[in-house]
Chain A
């Protein structure tokens, strides 16, 4: 594990911040600054017999790895230096650093700020009496959740790993997929108080320099006390802050992120969350699943069409029902009209109220099921099915068709590979229903046109959100609505990526015949 990314030894620090030569003074400052918190371990030891040197080993309990500290730091220092007799006082600092510490990563610091940052990150700092500098040794504890199966994006076929809350594990997971020296990481520490590590990952030479620069610039402009999840970052850096459509993609699957990086996109990893952001994000990315690329292209294409159909249905099904049954009864085939009319007999509400009630009831149930402890979850669904499914129809409060519509909408909204877009569609359903209730199909069309105009107007890091549909790019249709076989995917998307577009070359089948 590297520490160089986390600690910025830049000399912007003031002279007040400089370490003192006196160890006792340094320790005092540190204890005062950290408020004498009892999880700070300051171990003072003396090394060397002839010329005893006092030194302090400072770390935070729980963050640093105790075994490493005792074996590789304290143990080595105490065991060896006793025997050495001729160490000159001026070089002991160098000596400790180069000859005794058996940890992987060591660094010198001269200021308090990086010292705090280091120990708060789980590193151990060694301060020697008489030297105005400290030695940072990497002892970060590996207390970390194991890499588990992704819980939000599951696939039948594909890797079973997902990101964890630890930034380093996450970068390693990506590096393990892309073993190129061109996979670069740029780090930032964001959050005045939380000092959260944020890493920007991209493949140099494939990702557009402009986008990388823009991402870094936008990250640098963030000025806030804390970043607790990548959602904070997302909200700060996205292009259109008021748009309900997500313009930043997120995933907890390393293979998805690796694929996006290969497309020339830029990933933003935030310590403390398994959700990695990807920019620029296009509308189509939210309708694509990792698994699309792992199975036959015809099947994937059909599934994508199904998804597109699903999103449309999730968006307009209730409003179409309201519009057709209250304004355009002539559009229904007669037997269907009679059947729906018979179910609406005796229902006390107008269709739109009925639709709103049912959709609201479903949203409530869904939210309740989500927030409940897992053991109570089934109870919620039983009550939900019985109350809104059966009893409401039997009691004649709502019609059976309405229940079908709500169920259909609900299931369609579960069809999205990306949860973010699903929420947007969920919300947009309601204004569409109101439009439908006021103007019928005309209103629904009006609503859809507004949505499409909005989609056309937003961009994600300079790339039009609806590309490759608007603007229409014929070359990129290969991986948008449809998915061509791999031999057709030899070029990277055009708007995201303008240099190094060639992904691979034609695969020649050698039959072995002469």
Chain B
């Protein structure tokens, strides 16, 4: 009996003595929603955007305080810089709720691999955040802009990214895991969305930025940044980014504009798009076939056209397909000739098609890729015309 009592006592002791060691109260945390990494004079400069919870929550009356606070610190490594930050921050930064990481353009040009190591290695980061690049601005400048509607700028950055990916197609939300796996593939280049700051960058920090109907300083996605290995080499424009989305099967919905036979334009809404990439070898030479099946609805008609005829629909289908194909070809040319990086993963497609042949050309992939024949075929079907048939412009003949 004494033994049992002793064991019970020890169990209780172990419970009590070890308890609570990793406990953190909610009001001891500084919730970091965005992390910016810049390179300044051989040092990393990091910017963290920390939420002031009582300012963001709906319950309390606004006290004119900013909903987020950003802290900056420099260090030789990112880890050092983060810990150094406790010198000026009131609480220890808590990274589990990180929404977005912004990489500065200067850093991107030098290579991003080193800066991502801590983020991937540390257990506190949850690895479900997206990575973007600041274009023509530093990450610090991007994170120092207050945004209207979404009180937390990191949310605005993330929401714009995902919403525009969904309905417009010019951005691609890349989370850290995807980025790391792309970067670790030597034959591939990475693509991440790039954000720009419009307006006077120094004014974004001020609360007045969100007190006006039109915000003087705002954030805007510019397109996709192309990375060769881990270095930023160039930016694809909005249109080109859309083509890339088509090629990489990321389009969920977007708008295409078609010229009418006589004059005026007509826009269609892409409702679904599926892309199939097929790699093959002919006499040892690699070849890529891309088949894109697009479904669309007629969205807006600004010309005289009779939509009730099958012929017209065929015309629209053909024209849309043509438009998409042309744009894609131009984009591909830019990627192949100008940047010379396989951002679309065609190497992987060839690897899947014929592993043996791929091994032979793997070494020379960098030189083969620019001249790789890529055949794109787009097939468009129109499914709906909206809630009316013909345009208001085309008046019915009154008898």
Q: Is the CB of A330 within 8 A of B19?
A: no
Measured in the bound complex, the distance between the Cα atoms of B26 and A387 in whole Å is 24
Measured in the bound complex, the distance between the Cα atoms of B96 and A327 in whole Å is 12
Measured in the bound complex, the distance between the Cα atoms of B395 and A249 in whole Å is 81
Give every chain A residue within 8 A of B59 (Cβ-Cβ): 339, 342-343, 400
Residue A326 is within 8 A (CB to CB) of chain B in the complex: yes
Measured in the bound complex, the distance between the Cα atoms of B56 and A439 in whole Å is 30
Q: Is the CB of A329 within 8 A of B27?
A: no
Q: Is the CB of B31 within 8 A of A341?
A: yes
Q: Is the CB of A338 within 8 A of B27?
A: no
Measured in the bound complex, the distance between the Cα atoms of B18 and A351 in whole Å is 18
Closest-CB distance, A356 to chain B (whole angstroms): 14
CB-nearest residue of chain A to B128: A330
Give every chain A residue within 8 A of B19 (Cβ-Cβ): 437-439
CB-nearest residue of chain A to B60: A342
Measured in the bound complex, the distance between the Cα atoms of B18 and A334 in whole Å is 29
Residue A104 is within 8 A (CB to CB) of chain B in the complex: no
CB-nearest residue of chain A to B94: A329
Other-chain residue from B29, B53, B94 in contact with A339 (beta carbon distance below 8 A): B53
Measured in the bound complex, the distance between the Cα atoms of B15 and A364 in whole Å is 28
- Given known A338-B53, A438-B15, contact A344–B25 (CB-CB < 8 A): yes
Residue B51 is within 8 A (CB to CB) of chain A in the complex: yes
Measured in the bound complex, the distance between the Cα atoms of B27 and A350 in whole Å is 9
Flag B44-65 by CB within 8 Å of A: 1 or 0 each: 0000000101111111100000
20 other A-B residue contacts (CB within 8 Å) besides A339-B58, A340-B26? A326-B23, A326-B24, A329-B24, A329-B26, A329-B29, A337-B97, A338-B31, A339-B53, A341-B29, A341-B51, A341-B53, A342-B56, A342-B57, A342-B59, A343-B59, A438-B15, A438-B16, A438-B19, A439-B19, A440-B23
Residue A347 is within 8 A (CB to CB) of chain B in the complex: yes
Residue A504 is within 8 A (CB to CB) of chain B in the complex: no
Residue B126 is within 8 A (CB to CB) of chain A in the complex: yes
**In chain A between 301 and 335, which residues have their CB closer than 8 angstroms to a CB of chain B?**
325-327, 329-330, 334
Give every chain B residue within 8 A of A325 (Cβ-Cβ): 25-26
Residue B393 is within 8 A (CB to CB) of chain A in the complex: no
The contact sample of 28 A-B pairs, CB cut-off 8 A, is A325-B25, A325-B26, A326-B23, A326-B26, A327-B24, A329-B29, A329-B97, A330-B97, A334-B31, A334-B99, A338-B53, A338-B56, A338-B152, A339-B53, A342-B55, A342-B56, A342-B57, A342-B60, A344-B27, A345-B53, A345-B54, A400-B59, A437-B19, A437-B20, A437-B23, A438-B15, A438-B18, A440-B23
Give every chain B residue within 8 A of A339 (Cβ-Cβ): 53, 57-59
Give every chain B residue within 8 A of A438 (Cβ-Cβ): 15-16, 18-20
CB-nearest residue of chain B to A435: B15
Give every chain B residue within 8 A of A351 (Cβ-Cβ): 25-26
Q: Is the CB of B22 within 8 A of A346?
A: no
**Interface centre among A326, A334, A400, by most B CB within 10 Å?**
A334
Q: Ordered nearest first, which 10 A-B pairs have the shortest CB separation? A: A438-B19, A330-B96, A342-B57, A342-B53, A341-B53, A342-B54, A344-B26, A341-B26, A344-B27, A345-B54
- Given known A329-B96, A342-B60, A344-B25, contact A337–B31 (CB-CB < 8 A): yes
Residue B172 is within 8 A (CB to CB) of chain A in the complex: no
Residue B33 is within 8 A (CB to CB) of chain A in the complex: yes
CB-nearest residue of chain A to B27: A344
Give every chain B residue within 8 A of A338 (Cβ-Cβ): 31, 51, 53, 56-57, 152
Give every chain A residue within 8 A of B58 (Cβ-Cβ): 339
Closest-CB distance, B100 to chain A (whole angstroms): 11
Give every chain A residue within 8 A of B55 (Cβ-Cβ): 342
Q: State which size class the interface on B falls in.
A: 20 to 34
Measured in the bound complex, the distance between the Cα atoms of B152 and A347 in whole Å is 24
CB-nearest residue of chain B to A354: B25
Closest-CB distance, B373 to chain A (whole angstroms): 46
Measured in the bound complex, the distance between the Cα atoms of B22 and A438 in whole Å is 9
Give every chain A residue within 8 A of B27 (Cβ-Cβ): 341, 344-347
Other-chain residue from A326, A337, A343, A439 in contact with B25 (beta carbon distance below 8 A): A326
Closest-CB distance, A330 to chain B (whole angstroms): 3
Measured in the bound complex, the distance between the Cα atoms of B20 and A23 in whole Å is 81
Interface majority SS on A: helix, strand, loop or mixed?
helix
Measured in the bound complex, the distance between the Cα atoms of B18 and A345 in whole Å is 27
Measured in the bound complex, the distance between the Cα atoms of B57 and A339 in whole Å is 5
Measured in the bound complex, the distance between the Cα atoms of B59 and A341 in whole Å is 12
B: which residues have CB within 8 A of A? 15-16, 18-20, 22-27, 29, 31, 33, 51, 53-60, 94, 96-97, 99, 124, 126, 152
Measured in the bound complex, the distance between the Cα atoms of B60 and A342 in whole Å is 9
Give every chain A residue within 8 A of B99 (Cβ-Cβ): 334
Closest-CB distance, B243 to chain A (whole angstroms): 33
Closest-CB distance, A352 to chain B (whole angstroms): 9
Measured in the bound complex, the distance between the Cα atoms of B126 and A342 in whole Å is 22
CB-nearest residue of chain B to A322: B23
Give every chain A residue within 8 A of B26 (Cβ-Cβ): 325-326, 329, 337, 340-341, 344, 351
Other-chain residue from A334, A343, A346, A347 in contact with B97 (beta carbon distance below 8 A): A334
Closest-CB distance, A98 to chain B (whole angstroms): 66
Measured in the bound complex, the distance between the Cα atoms of B152 and A330 in whole Å is 18
- Given known A329-B96, A350-B25, A438-B15, contact A343–B57 (CB-CB < 8 A): yes
Measured in the bound complex, the distance between the Cα atoms of B55 and A339 in whole Å is 10
Closest-CB distance, B157 to chain A (whole angstroms): 13
CB-nearest residue of chain A to B96: A330
Closest-CB distance, A238 to chain B (whole angstroms): 23
Closest-CB distance, B356 to chain A (whole angstroms): 45
Measured in the bound complex, the distance between the Cα atoms of B126 and A436 in whole Å is 22
Give every chain B residue within 8 A of A347 (Cβ-Cβ): 27
Give every chain B residue within 8 A of A341 (Cβ-Cβ): 26-27, 29, 31, 51, 53
Closest-CB distance, A217 to chain B (whole angstroms): 29
Closest-CB distance, B169 to chain A (whole angstroms): 26
Closest-CB distance, B28 to chain A (whole angstroms): 9
CB-nearest residue of chain B to A438: B19
Closest-CB distance, B56 to chain A (whole angstroms): 5
Closest-CB distance, A159 to chain B (whole angstroms): 49
CB-nearest residue of chain A to B15: A438
Measured in the bound complex, the distance between the Cα atoms of B97 and A345 in whole Å is 18
Measured in the bound complex, the distance between the Cα atoms of B93 and A329 in whole Å is 13
Give every chain A residue within 8 A of B23 (Cβ-Cβ): 326-327, 350, 437, 440
Give every chain B residue within 8 A of A327 (Cβ-Cβ): 22-24
Give every chain A residue within 8 A of B33 (Cβ-Cβ): 334
Measured in the bound complex, the distance between the Cα atoms of B28 and A347 in whole Å is 11
Closest-CB distance, A460 to chain B (whole angstroms): 26
**Interface centre among B25, B33, B60, by most A CB within 10 Å?**
B25
**Interface centre among A337, A338, A342, A440, by most B CB within 10 Å?**
A338
Measured in the bound complex, the distance between the Cα atoms of B42 and A413 in whole Å is 62
Closest-CB distance, B229 to chain A (whole angstroms): 32
Give every chain A residue within 8 A of B53 (Cβ-Cβ): 338-339, 341-342, 345
Measured in the bound complex, the distance between the Cα atoms of B197 and A94 in whole Å is 117
Measured in the bound complex, the distance between the Cα atoms of B27 and A347 in whole Å is 8
Measured in the bound complex, the distance between the Cα atoms of B54 and A344 in whole Å is 9
CB-nearest residue of chain A to B67: A338
CB-nearest residue of chain A to B97: A334
